[in-house]
Amino acid sequence: MEPAKDIDWDALTFAFSQTDMMYVAKTKVGEPWPAGKLVPYGDIPMSPAAGVLNYGQGIFEGLKAQRTDAGDIVLFRTNKNAQRFAAGAARLGMPVVSEEQFMKVARDVVEANARFVPPSGKGSLYVRPVLFGNGAILGLGPAPEVTYIVYCCPVGPYFKDGITPIHLKVSDEYHRVCAGSTGNVKAIANYAPGMIPSANAKKEGYSEIIYLDAREHRYIEEVGAANFFCVKDGVIYTPILSGGTILPGVTRDSTIQIARDLGYKVEECKVDIDFALTADEVFCTGTAAVVSPVGKITHADRTGVFANNEVGVVTKKIYETLTGIQRGKLPDKHGWVIHLKGKSKL
């Protein structure tokens, strides 16, 4: 299906807008997931005693469908999102959605809303699977019934005028999570506590917050809701996934593989903020922006400036390679791109 002709794709921003269809399935704990069904987009009734409302029992994912330069609609590494979704469900005491069902539903939702997939280069269709305890429960425990929904909305490019370096502030007051919690799960409850620190930083002129570890207050964990990378003397460094405090980003994993494909050495280790401030380049990764170059980091009375506050050579190369693979401009030697019809099977 061609992109809708009644949408001004050039005016599209990274914000919510309603589409035609969404997916809904419900099951009780201990029972298998039904096939579920596609229904018109709309509100969902819920008990005031729902587990998600009272105890935050819920997880979500974020993935994108987009058109290649040839016009094909594709998804990217949906299996990785499915695996993280399953791990999150198990951690929060909810029935696991199989990888097969997750990937089929993602495809079905995109196909049902194909007219909302922007033309190549104009944005993407952001797909949001959500799993939550909708069953009523008063005592602390898993909800007796769980709902799985998948909706989507078209979004414009995160950077309208090309990738631009951002300015980050290190938080000394707030921490994202502590060891042994749910930092490695895309849990609903992980995100609300970051809203005020992020909003305060933006009021001060920064783009986002950098969170340090809650124990020693010196090792970088995440940038708001993105993974952190820095480059020093040709080596790329990123915080190691240990202690359950960092989300294993799909874009993070893709970036590491692409960097190694390009011949760079990648070190997954503890990244000290003092070390990061001396880096040659800094960038962060996530589904929304893919790769965000960082021009400056301010920590207390110190400010590190990277690549002369411009997009660094390594950052640009990784961004162009990753987006080139996603849009079909470069070879997909790892089999990451999933065509909805024809070339690849879900």
Q: Annotated catalytic sites, by residue?
A: 186
- DSSP state, residue 280: S
Which DSSP string corresponds to 85-133? HHHHHHHTT-PPPPHHHHHHHHHHHHHHTGGGSPPTTS-EEEEEEEEEE
Burial 70-98 (b: 16+ CB within 10 A, else e): eebbbbbbbbbbbebbbbbbeebebbebe
Kind plus residue range of the DSSP H or E element containing 298: strand 290-299
Task: With beta carbons less than 8 A apart as the criterion, state whether 132 and 189 touch.
Answer: no
φ and ψ at 166, to 5 degrees?
A: -110, 165
Task: With beta carbons less than 8 A apart as the criterion, state whether 124 and 65 touch.
Answer: yes
What six digits make up the tokens of 224?
């708001």
Strand partners, 121: none
Q: What is the dihedral of CA 166, 169, 171, 175, to 10 degrees?
A: 0
Mention every residue, 6+ apart, whose C-beta is less than 8 A from residue 235.
Answer: 264, 265, 266, 267
